[in-house]
Structure formats: C-alpha cells, structure tokens
Structure 1
Amino acid sequence: MRVAEAFRAAFGADPQTVWRAPGRVNLIGEHTDYNDGFVLPFAVPWGVSAAVTPRTDQTIRLLSLQSPGAPIELSTREEATGWARYAVGVLAMLGDRVAGADIAVDGDVPQGAGLSSSAALEVAVASALDDVHGLGLTPMEIALLSQKAENDFVGMPCGIMDQAASALCEEGHALFLDCRSLASRNIPLDLAAEGLSMLIIDTQVHHEHAGGEYAKRRAECESAARKLGVEALRDVTDLAAALDRLQGDERKRVMHVVTENHRVEALIGLLRAGKVSEIGALLNASHLSLRDQYEVSSPELDVAVEAAFRGGARGARMTGGGFGGSAIALVPVDRLDGVQESVSAAYAERGFQAPRFLPAVPAKGAHKIV
C-alpha cells in the first residue's frame, strides 16, 4: 500500500492505522442544504487514505504523496498552510484529546471536478485519529468535526453534506440527509445490478463569479424566508401562497428550493420501489429548475446535459454549486461510449474545452484499511 510505504520511508516505522475516506457526488438536492432541506449524495470510488501514528509531544509531521518533497514539520497548529490546513484543522478541533501526530496522506480524487477531496482528507484523518486514540466518535460526529475544521480552521463556510457523505455512505447506496435534524439513512442505489452507471461529466470550466453568486443566492433565500415568516425555505408548505407573496428573483429561488426538496423525496420513493432506471426524469427536472429558477447553470453544463440525453442517457443534471464544475448523467453501461461521444462532439462544435468523463457507482464510506 503506497501510503503505508511512504509513511515508513518518511518516519522510520509502520503507521499505527490507515483509514480511507471517499469523495462524493450529489445525486439530487442542490442548493437545499443551507435552506435546511434534503440532499442525496453518494460516495465515489476515489478518495484519500491517511496513515497515522500519534505522538506524545505537540509536533505534527505531515506528508502528502500529491505534494512531493520532505515532510512538513510543525511545532504549532497555527503554522499550517496549503493542503496541510485540512489535516491540522482536524487536530485543532480535537483540542486536548490529541497531542501531535505523524500523518501521511495519498489521494486519487480527480481534482477540479467538485468531488470534495477536502472532505475526504478531513474525514480520513479524523477517522484515523479517532481510532488510534479510542475516542469512540460516531460517523456523524466525525463528519461534524471535519466540517468544523473546514469552517473554523480553513475558513471555508461549507455545509455538512460533503463530510457526512464521506463518513456515512455505504457501498451501493445513496445517503438521505436531513440538513436540519442531521437524521440520515442509506437508501439502496444499486446501479450496477440494473446495468447502469452514473457518468460524471467534468466541464473543466469554473467561472470566476461563482463565489459571489453563491452568496447572493443564499441571501435571497434568507430574505424570502423572512418575508414568508418561516425559519427556512424548507418550512414552506403552501407553495402557491408563498409565490403570491414574492416577486422577481426571490420568487424563482423559492420555487426551486421547495420543488427540489419534493424531488429528493420522490426519487427516494422510486429507489425504495426498486425503480432505479426511472429516476432520470427527476434528474432532468432538477436541472431545468437549477437553470431557469435558481439560475446557477452555465452554457457548458447545459450542453453537457442536453448532449448526454441525446446520446442515450436516461436523465442528466448539473451537480454542485453551479457556474461550471460537473454534470451527472444516468447511463446504461452499454451506452457509455455513445454518451461520451455525443457530449464531446457537442463541446467541439461550440469550441468548448474538451470535458473529462468519470463513470462511477456508489462506493463505500470511510473505512479502516490497516
């Protein structure tokens, strides 16, 4: 195992434990998390492995196989920079429960596709530290600890979905997560048994204004909730009455959030009925809502979705925050080549940068390797 060998070479002994945690993709439930709504991510086959041995002093030694060079040695947690902040942030959130540590990490999450490599790193390190120190944390506690590390130490205001998916997902399942109560359950999503694959289409485009637009959408939702007298848009029960009280962009945002929560519940209903092959229409509807009501799509995402459907996908939608990033398409395995050819041709015709294709089936959440 590469990460254990690298640990041994760098630190002179075998690691005490090795854990692996995956990245994730969100099947449906987009821009619902910060509205206290529902999401349905699944773990992808790519992730981060963390080899860890605790120390009795406060020294932290870190090695990443993706950042060649000598290990980083820190005498205080505040010295961490770059990728090391994600690992050290977890140590910081554990506070006095842990001292220092020797940590080596090795990841194969495709970069830039929006598959949450940072959450995978945090959850792998947190799981390994929990194991070697016998802290007895639950998977959700590990997810919350990892989210807090990213929020408070790294300074990224992410929701709980990425870390929860990495910590709690089961192979062949998607994770239904209520972002208010944090109640969760794994729902069977056995794509392989149905001859299906989820094709992740990385547009390789990331628009600069995405951060500002994301903050604007969030503010619009909070403003609409105040006007409607609800804690969050998840609490809107009479959509028609709510829309009558709003105008312009806020009206559109409410339409998306409320209907997207309904789509999550409808998709779970299909999965429970064993109708995996019929979820495509809900993916299509989600994309149209994100494009027209939430207005977070991009030309590259729209072309990917339309061309995938023309090429034989059962359904497709943008996934993630939007303004570039990735789309997903539900594709019969025997149509994978045709869908990829269709999307590639559509991109070439418009002069877009060639996309990257990543076929995936739901993988295992965080687990111990050694």
Structure 2
Amino acid sequence: MSASLVKDVKKTFIKKFKTLPLLIFSPGRINIIGEHTDYNDGFVFPAAVDKGIAAAIQKSNSGSCTAIALDIDSTIEFELDKLKPSNEGSWENYVFGVVAEIQNRNKVVGDFNIIFKGNIPGGAGMSSSAALENSIVFGLNELFELNLTKEDMILISQKAEHNYVGVNCGIMDQYASMFGKKDHALHLDCRSIKSKPYKIDFKDHQLMLINTNVKHSLSDSAYNDRRSACERVSELLGIRALRDATEADLEKIIDKVIPANYQKALYVIQENNRTIKAAKAIKNNDLETLGALIYQSHEGLSNQYKVSCDELDYLVEQAKKNEHVLGARMMGGGFGGCTINLIAKSEAKAFAETASKAYKNKFNKVCSVYFIQLSEGTHLVR
C-alpha cells in the first residue's frame, strides 16, 4: 500500500471539508494466468498488488455530494435522487454506478464527500476501475453501516461497470481487488465465486510488468465480440458456459462454427486447464512449470484468441531470448497494456534495460517497467 497516496487524500480532504475522513485503500490486480476465462465461468489466478487507489470519504451536510478525482484535478457535485450515467468514458460513472447499484438493493445512502487518488498506471490492465469501484462501495458500506458482505460489494461494483460504465466485465477484477491476500494468488472459480488462496514462494524469482504504453482502439468492441462468440459456441454445445466443455466436445461441432470461433473456444478450454495445472505447480513450488504454462497462455492469446498486438508479442519474444525469464505473457483484455514476466531477481534490472532499449528501437516508443508485490485486498486504513 502506498502511504503517500493515503496521506495526500487525507490532507486534501481535511483542507477542503474541514473534517476527518474514513480512509480506504483498494488495490489493483495482476492475473498470473487464466485470461478471458472469467466470463466463461472458468478459473482465473489473480492477485492484489501494492499499487491501487486511496480514498477519503465522509458524510456531507451540504445537501449534496461531492466527488474529487485528485489525479486529474476534476470535481463533480451531484444529488442522490438524480443519478444517471454521464457521457461514456467519464470517471464519475464509477461513482454514480456504485451508488445507484447500492440504492437498487434498497439500502439507504446519505450525502457524502469523497476524494480519491491512485498510482495504478493507466492502460496497464491492472484494473484501476475495479479498485475505484471497490473503494467507493467499501467506504459507503462503512460510513452508512449498510451491512453489505464483501461478496455483495463486488457484485455491486461489477453491476456498476455493466450498467453505468458500459463494460460487460466478468467478476475477476473486483474479486481480486477486494479479497486479495498478501503473498498469495487466488485460484478463483468464476462460477461459484469462491477461491482458494495459494501462497507463492517466488524464491529467487520475482514478477515484473512491462507496459507497452499502447492501447489499440479495438479493445472494447473486440472484448464484446469474443464474449458473444463464446456464448454462441456454448449454445451450440447445449451447455451453460465453455468451462463445461472439453476439447472432444468441441470437435463434435467443428463443422458448425467458423474456424476463427472454433480456435477461440479451444483457447478458452485450454486456458482453463492451464490455470488448474498452474495451481498444482504453485503448490509444488515448481516455478519452471508455472513459467511454461504462462508462455503457453500467451501463444493461445496471440494465435487463437487474437487479442494480442505486435508490441506485446515483441516483448514476449524478448523474454524468450533470455534464459532467466521462466515465463511471460500479455495480461488483461489485450491489444496493449502489459506483459507479466517471471524472472530471476538478479537479472531483472538487466532484462528491463535490454528489453526497453530493444522496444524503443523497434517501435520508437518507450515502455515502462514495474516491480510489484502481492498484497492485501480492499481495507480500511487505520
């Protein structure tokens, strides 16, 4: 958790509203393996990280609510009985959406003020949106004693994203941010929404993210396209979701789907199996196998699911050339964002430098490198 973030929002809140706020920290997340399996009722393997969003929140007696996004120095005032989505892409939709979804559960929220600030790199695929939603719902739950469970809260966050932000996301991001556990990754079953924490001993290795700093405009439409392709194949198979399918099942309908959609469904089935193998590898402290599965995940995302891009593929190729990297893959929705790399600690800095240099030469763009620790989920800061 970043102490300076918390200090910033607290100081600004006291100065502006002349009262002591409740303080919440809500982390971003990484996903070790299991990409695009969440909306197929499958398994994923996320973990909360030590970057996130700090929020300061307190009741308001001014007759309205104020929300301030400190990073972009943007303020909105609103009334609780007049909530409706703002323009697409507006940050306030996260705030409005969470409040509206709480109200939909017949819970009473009073007027409040909130200030938040984050250090999750934008466009890195580390779910700053889920961290923001969770910080808001967690804060309101504390402030107005709504008696929501953490399970309730993540469903509220997810619905806010569906109904106000317009992204038909799965549950992984909100779950990982809310339930994260220090030094653990969560093997999450997205159907039952239950997870098993696995303590990861990276020994002399560590995780490193390299951000391509590109975001190809395809991402939202492509996400929805892939989601509906998966749903169509499930329908043809007469099952609820692809998590219930085997490769043999898929073979039976090969002549009923276009080759591209066959490959997408095949990827989901294989990726789901990889997350189960990854859990076993982590349990056995077998980082080599984990690394190999991570590389396979990227192959599938790039060649079968087709959500990678030249920049991501190039960074994974750079990783493959380095014997100290056990595994690398694109992470997140795709078409930009980060690669996640499992690398020997002693070689991480050198690899970061050579990969960055090669990337700059190839694309005439700068990539960013982040070192991360697995950390606690959304919590009150005392």
TM-score (norm 2): 0.90
Residue identity opposite 1:351 in structure 2? F
Comparing 359-368 with 245-254, which one deviates more in the overlay? 245-254
Decide whether aligned partners of structure 1 residues 281 and 90 sit closer, same or farther in structure 2, where only a CA change above 3 A counts. same
Structure 2: segments with no counterpart, 5+ residues? 1-6
Q: Distance in 2 between matches of 1:19 and 1:6?
A: 15
Shift of 1:156: 2.2
Q: Distance in 2 between matches of 1:68 and 1:80?
A: 20
Decide whether aligned partners of structure 1 residues 217 and 79 sit closer, same or farther in structure 2, where only a CA change above 3 A counts. closer
Comparing 258-267 with 152-161, which one deviates more in the overlay? 152-161
**Do the aligned partners of 2:29 and 2:177 also contact (CA within 8 Å) in 1?**
yes
Counterpart residue number, 2:94: 86
Counterpart residue number, 1:132: 143
Q: Distance in 1 between matches of 2:253 and 2:68?
A: 55
Shift of 1:190: 3.4
Counterpart residue number, 2:11: 5
Decide whether aligned partners of structure 1 residues 56 and 184 sit closer, same or farther in structure 2, where only a CA change above 3 A counts. farther
Q: Which runs of 4+ in 1 moved over 6 A?
A: none
Q: Distance in 1 between matches of 2:165 and 2:261?
A: 31
| Pair 1:332-2:344 in alignment | yes
Q: Percent identity?
A: 36
Shift of 1:56: 6.1
| Pair 1:347-2:353 in alignment | no
Counterpart residue number, 2:226: 217
Counterpart residue number, 1:72: 76
Counterpart residue number, 1:145: 156
**Do the aligned partners of 2:308 and 2:336 also contact (CA within 8 Å) in 1?**
yes
Q: Distance in 1 between matches of 2:360 and 2:64?
A: 52
Shift of 1:214: 2.1
Counterpart residue number, 1:252: 263
Residues 189-338 of structure 1: matches in 2 within 5 Å?
A: 189-191=200-202, 194-237=203-246, 239-247=247-255, 248-276=259-287, 278-311=289-322, 312-338=324-350
Q: Distance in 1 between matches of 2:162 and 2:262?
A: 30
- Total equivalences in the alignment: 365
Residue identity opposite 1:175 in structure 2? L
**Do the aligned partners of 2:325 and 2:344 also contact (CA within 8 Å) in 1?**
yes
Shift of 1:148: 1.2
RMSD value, Cα: 1.8
> C-alpha deviations, 1:50-94, integer Å up to 9, x for none?
11112467511112221326x432234526742222123222222
Counterpart residue number, 1:101: 112
| Pair 1:32-2:37 in alignment | yes
**Do the aligned partners of 1:189 and 1:362 also contact (CA within 8 Å) in 2?**
no
Decide whether aligned partners of structure 1 residues 79 and 5 sit closer, same or farther in structure 2, where only a CA change above 3 A counts. farther
Classify the secondary structure of the residue corresponding to 2:343: strand
Residue identity opposite 2:221 in structure 1? G
Shift of 1:351: 2.9
Shift of 1:242: 1.8
TM-score (norm 1): 0.93
Q: Distance in 1 between matches of 2:69 and 2:218?
A: 31
Q: Distance in 1 between matches of 2:63 and 2:40?
A: 40
Shift of 1:313: 1.0
Counterpart residue number, 2:123: 112
Shift of 1:12: 1.1
Decide whether aligned partners of structure 1 residues 45 and 230 sit closer, same or farther in structure 2, where only a CA change above 3 A counts. same
